[in-house]
Structures are given as structure tokens and as C-alpha cells.
Amino acid sequence: MSQKGDRSNKLINNNSSGIVIGGGISGLIAATLLQRKGIKVTVIDKGRGIGGRLATRRIKYSETIEGICDYGTQYFSVKQPGFQVWVDDWLEQGVIKEWCQGFNEVDGKPRYCGINGTRGIAKYLAQDLDVCTSTRVFKINYDRQWLVETNSGKKFQGDFLVMTPPVPQSLKLLDDSNIALPPDIRQSLEQVDYHSCIAVLALLDRPSSIPQPGGIGIADENLVWLADNYQKGISPNGHAITLHATPSFSEKNWDNTDADIAQKLFAAASTWLDSSIIEYQVHRWRYSLPKTLYGQSCLTLPELSLTFGGDAFVAPKIEGAVLSGIAIAKSINH
Ligand SMILES: Cc1cc2nc3c(=O)[nH]c(=O)nc-3n(C[C@H](O)[C@H](O)[C@H](O)COP(=O)(O)OP(=O)(O)OC[C@H]3O[C@@H](n4cnc5c(N)ncnc54)[C@H](O)[C@@H]3O)c2cc1C
């Protein structure tokens, strides 16, 4: 599509400063690379913790029993050399480990996970960056510089803006701020669509029956994935499991109570539970995995000093988000 051609930004120099909305992995990678070039970058995220869909949470039951669950990304593998470089660093720094070489069957390809949960990867990347969490951007304005307003009352200014939230959230922010995009671009971005996913995090009183290595893909109408975070090695003080519902279950049951959702998913997983549930939480991912991609690693509008990126621009997985983050940085400072 001609509209998706090269719109790379030539307005940025090394004295520029920028703002990245979204502290998921794509935003963190872009900010890291731009900062390495001497560009001042601030990352703003609405989440309490950094990482977006790299999400890990504690479920405390008692002083001695607590579970730790990855409830977004579960594991990842590597295809592209550009991603391998980052993975090698995370391995060397003790941020990730090889979990296994396949779940339902072994194929010899490493599957990695965070040593302290997948959020640990985001924390590692964020440690040297200027990051504001628990800060939701609700209005943006461009007048030769970007002005970003947040719910905390703090305002940020930058020469360029990067938007990495799921695309419908970025478009809503533009609408709320009365910023119009060229119609062809707007139309292409509106095509990007996502599955939703309901996750249930549960603490069991005994080990689960999930087979080694502690993760199993399930061909069921309600359940798509089941993980044992204790076997995975991230939940040493509790038999914590993660259940991911199918997109169709998630859509159908979205507005149901947590209790109803949990009861249905525990029933679907009963073969692998074999013990009592002592605590659980439900998390609803409205934007889980992109099902329609943008078709280009990122999108830069030089006339607005604005770049869009995220997994939906490359592939619905960590690797896709990282490659988009790399493309964002290249597009801004090439
Ligand atoms: C249930 C589930 C399971 C998954 N399993 C896997 C897997 O096993 N392997 C794999 O490789 N990938 C998996 N993924 C996909 C992977 O998590 C994503 O591809 C990747 O994390 C996307 O990163 P991102 O930076 O593009 O987006 P995100 O991580 O979504 O980051 C966007 C950030 O923008 C922030 N934001 C949004 N609006 C605002 C605002 N107005 N102001 C401030 N901040 C804002 C959000 O808080 C968020 O942190 C899974 C995802 C889910 C949800």
C-alpha cells in the first residue's frame, strides 16, 4: 500500500527529547535505543507496574503461602537475529532462562521465560530509563512540540511522541485530543483488531497435575492454555496456576462475575487440578493478541513528529513487539 511507504522522520537530532506512551516491551526497547543515541526520552505508563502485557502478579494467602503468576505472556522463542541479541543479553544478565524445548511435544527449540516472571524483563529494561508508572495520558497536543497531560496532573513536553498502546487505545487518545490523522492512515490503523483473553490466576493447596514442564496448550472451546508457575520456577512458595480462556469464551463471558468465570474455567481445567483452590483472581485482557496486523514495523508521521508501534505492527508476540521497538527507534533516529 503506497500510504504505508517511507514516512521516516528527519526532524529529530541528538538534542531532541521525546515521550513514549506505553511501557510495554516495544516502548521500552524504543526508549533504550533512543537513549543510547543520547536522546532524552521519558516513558509514561498507566499501569502500576511496568511491562504492559509482560505481567506477573502475587497472590498472597498467608505469611508462608503466596503464589506468583505470569498472567500475560507465558514464554517466548526466537526467530529473528535482531531479537536474539536482546535475548542473549537477558540470558547473560540472569533475567530469563530456558524453560523447556516444547510443551505438548519437544521440538528442540528453546522456550524462554523470566526468572522472576516475565515482568522482570520489563523491570530490567526500565532500570536505566526515565519511567513514570501509574500515570495515564488523557490528552495530547502538538504545536511544534508535543504536550502530554496525565491524570497525575503532571505535564510532559517533547519534540517527538511515540504511541505504543494497543492501536484502538492510541486512536481513542487522538480522538479525545481532537487530533486528526490523514484519512488513509486513520483507515489503515482502524483495521488493526485484537482478541480478548480472560486470565484466571489461582493458588492450589497441593501440586497441580499439569504435566512437566508445567505448561500445556489445550484444544478446548473454553480453555487455551494452562500453566503451573511452581513448576516453571517463578512461584517457590505456592502452587500457583494460570488459566487462559479462548477468545470466544472471553467474549461470551466478559461481563459475567469473576466467580462465574472462575467456576467455568476451573471446571474446564479439572483434569489438571486435582486439588482445592484456596485463592483466585480474574484479569480481563481487552487487547490480548492482535488478530489483524498493520503490516509495517512502525508508522511515523514526520509532519506530526509522531510514531506508532507495538506488537500489532509486526507479530502478536514479544518478538514482534521488540522488532517494532527497534523499528521505532530507527525511524526516529536513523
Ligand atoms: C494473555 C496473553 C498471553 C500472551 N502470551 C504470549 C506468549 O506466550 N508469548 C509471547 O511472545 N507473547 C505473548 N503475548 C503477547 C505479548 O504479551 C505482547 O505481544 C507484547 O507484550 C506486546 O507489547 P507491546 O509493548 O506492544 O504492548 P503492551 O505490552 O500492551 O504495552 C502497551 C502499554 O501502553 C500502556 N498504555 C495504554 N494506554 C495508555 C495511556 N493512555 N497512558 C499511559 N500508558 C498507556 C499500557 O499500560 C501498556 O503497558 C500474550 C499476551 C497476552 C495478553
Q: Which phi and psi angles does 324 have, rounded to 5°?
A: -70, -40
Give the model's confidence band at 11: pLDDT under 50 very low, under 70 low, under 90 confident, else very high: low
Nearest CA to ligand 1 atom 1: 72
What pLDDT, on the 0 to 100 scale, is given for residue 287?
A: 98
What pLDDT, on the 0 to 100 scale, is given for residue 15?
A: 81
Say whether both 248 and 182 belong to one domain.
no
Give residue-wise pLDDT tens across range 53-100.
999 999 999 999 999 999 999 999 999 999 999 999 999 999 999 999
Say whether both 38 and 144 belong to one domain.
yes
Q: Which residues pair with 292 in a beta bridge?
A: 193
Q: Is the pLDDT of residue 4 over 60?
A: no
Rounded to the nearest angstrom, the distance between the alpha carbon of 131 and the centre of ligand 1 is 17
What pLDDT, on the 0 to 100 scale, is given for residue 334?
A: 78
Whose cell is 511507504? That residue is 5
Nearest CA to ligand 1 atom 26: 310
Cell numbers describing residue 201: 490466576
CA angle, residues 220, 223, 225, in degrees to nearest 5: 110
What is the total count of domains within the chain?
A: 2
Say whether both 189 and 262 belong to one domain.
no
Q: Is the CB of 22 under 6 A from ligand 1?
A: yes
Q: In this structure, is residue 130 part of a structural domain? A: no
Q: Determine the structural domain holding residue 185 and report its residue range.
A: 2-46+135-193+291-332
Q: In this structure, is residue 64 part of a structural domain? A: yes
Q: In this structure, is residue 117 part of a structural domain? A: yes
Q: Is the CB of 25 under 6 A from ligand 1?
A: yes
4-14 mean pLDDT: 53
Q: In this structure, is residue 127 part of a structural domain? A: no
What pLDDT, on the 0 to 100 scale, is given for residue 2?
A: 34
Say whether both 155 and 269 belong to one domain.
no
- Among the candidates 265, 285, 305, a domain finishes at 285
19, 53, 104: residue to mutate for ligand 1 pocket, most atoms within 8 A of CB: 53
Say whether both 103 and 203 belong to one domain.
yes
Say whether both 179 and 217 belong to one domain.
no
- The pTM assigned to this predicted structure is 0.96
Say whether both 252 and 319 belong to one domain.
no
Domain containing residue 201: CATH number: 3.90.660.10
Q: In this structure, is residue 219 part of a structural domain? A: yes
Q: Which phi and psi angles does 59 have, rounded to 5°?
A: -120, 110
Q: In this structure, is residue 90 part of a structural domain? A: yes
Cell numbers describing residue 147: 504536550
Say whether both 33 and 175 belong to one domain.
yes
Give residue-wise pLDDT tens across range 90-141.
999 999 999 999 998 899 999 999 999 999 999 999 999 999 999 999 999 9
Give residue-wise pLDDT tens across range 226-255.
999 999 999 999 999 999 999 999 999 999
Domain containing residue 34: CATH number: 3.50.50.60
Q: Which phi and psi angles does 228 have, rounded to 5°?
A: -110, 105
CA angle, residues 247, 111, 115, in degrees to nearest 5: 100
3 or 280: whose pLDDT is higher?
Answer: 280
Give residue-wise pLDDT tens across range 281-320.
999 999 999 999 999 999 999 999 999 999 999 999 999 9
Q: In this structure, is residue 128 part of a structural domain? A: no
Helices 119-126, 25-36: crossing angle, 10 deg rounding: 20
Say whether both 144 and 276 belong to one domain.
no
Give the DSSP H or E segment for 218: none
Q: In this structure, is residue 112 part of a structural domain? A: yes
Give residue-wise pLDDT tens across range 127-175.
999 999 999 999 999 999 999 999 999 999 999 999 999 999 999 999 9
Q: Is the CB of 102 under 6 A from ligand 1?
A: no
